[in-house]
Structure formats: C-alpha cells, structure tokens
Amino acid sequence: SSLDAWKFPLVFLDFETMNPALPRFDGCGPYRHVAFQFSVHRMDSLEAEIVHTEFLHEADSDPRPTLIPALLKACDGEGSIVAYFGKFESDRILEMAEFSPFHKEALETLVPRIVDPLPLIREHVYDNEFKGSFSLKSVAPGILGKQQSYEGMLVANGSEAQRAYSELIHANTTADRKRELVTASLEYCKKDTLVMVELARWLFALVAEKK
C-alpha cells in the first residue's frame, strides 16, 4: 500500500490479545484471540501533536463488552487506521463484529480503513540491524535508533503481555503487583503505537526527500 493512500487523521492501532487453549468466554473456540487491551495514537497532520487513547480490561471477565465501545470511540472518523501487520487487527475487529451484532456495522466500517506499513518497509527498506526480521521490535530500533528498543521493559513482547494479563486478573495477585502489571502493560502497548507514529513520520520524510 502506498503512502498516498493514507488519509489523515491517521489512527495508529495496536491490540494485545489472549488465545487460551481452553476457551474462557461464550462464542470462543480453542486458541481464539480475544483482545483485552488496545492503544491508539491519533495524528491529525504530520505537524500536529499526537493524542493518545488506551484501554486495558483489568477484571477477570469478558473484555469485549467494554473494549468494543471504547475502540469505536477511539477510532471515530474517516482517516486511515495504521496497524503493523494489519491483518491481525482486521481479523480481531471482524471477530468482534461477529460477537456483537449491535456493534457489527460500526466495527465493519473500520476494516477498509486499515493500512499497513509492513509491506512498504519490506519492499523498500532494509538494514542489517533488522537481523532478517521485519517485526516491529526489529524494524523500530533498526530505522529509528536504539532509543526505540524494547529492551529492559517489564513487558516487552506479545507473549509477555499475555502472561502479565493472566497474572493481573488472577485472584491471588496483590494490589501492588497489579498496579505494577497495569503500568507495564500500558507502557508496552503505548510504545507499539508510538513507534508506529515515528515510523510513519520517517516514511513520509523519506518520500518527501525523493520527490
């Protein structure tokens, strides 16, 4: 997808999900992904300040009834929704639409708005720092510098986010530990969308240089 197809305001979206072997909620099969968290950064223009919205379901219950309205509010408008490896976000949104007939139409309007920077980077950019991987965790520090590394974070990848969430909602987890897990989980998901913002700025600057 070309950057020309990206329509402002840009909405940068990332989900964190769980996919247990034994389904925990109605309508879920084994290993079915259920989003329990999202981060959104909204950018009205390249010069504008970005606005952040986040959601984390902290109770041991189905996250979808509260996550879905929050997601629709955060993604309101007609601009492009930027998601790295966007098929993952598309699939989760379509599953939410299947789960919630009331929100089905609104959720389905989000999917055509999704644009994915991954193909652009894979086709036009390579750096030895990627070490053969085009994951966001490899590409971000490779292109943007070591300050965008995820090293040293309490939650630093999707698997750790799942484990942190399982501990967060466990009845035996102390209040202090819950606060620590909430902070770490929010920081991780926020970093994913913030890194996408910086990648988008880098891509737009690269295109402008070549014109």
Per-residue pLDDT at 132: 67
Per-residue pLDDT at 7: 97
pLDDT digits (tens, 9 = 90+) for 12-23: 999 999 998 888
Parse the chain into domains and list their residue ranges. 3-210
Of the candidates 77, 70, 119, which has an alpha carbon nearest to the alpha carbon of residue 96?
A: 70
Distance CA 59, CA 171 (A): 10
- Helix, coil or strand: residue 8: coil
Per-residue pLDDT at 22: 82
Distance CA 35, CA 24 (A): 13
Per-residue pLDDT at 127: 67
Starting at the edge strand found earlier in the chain, the sheet holding 10-18 runs: 51-56, 34-43, 10-18, 81-82, 114-115
Per-residue pLDDT at 129: 64
Asked if residue 19 lies in contact with residue 30, where contact means CB atoms within 8 angstroms, the answer is no
Per-residue pLDDT at 18: 95
Q: Could you say which residues of the chain have pLDDT below 50? A: none
DSSP string, 20-85: -SS--STT--TT--EEEEEEEEEESSTTSPPEEEEEE--SSS-SHHHHHHHHHHHT-SSS-EE-TT
Per-residue pLDDT at 145: 78
pLDDT digits (tens, 9 = 90+) for 45-59: 999 999 999 999 999
Residue 62: CB atoms within 10 Å: 17
We find that the CATH architecture of domain 3-210 is: 2-Layer Sandwich (3.30)
Per-residue pLDDT at 161: 97
Per-residue pLDDT at 16: 98
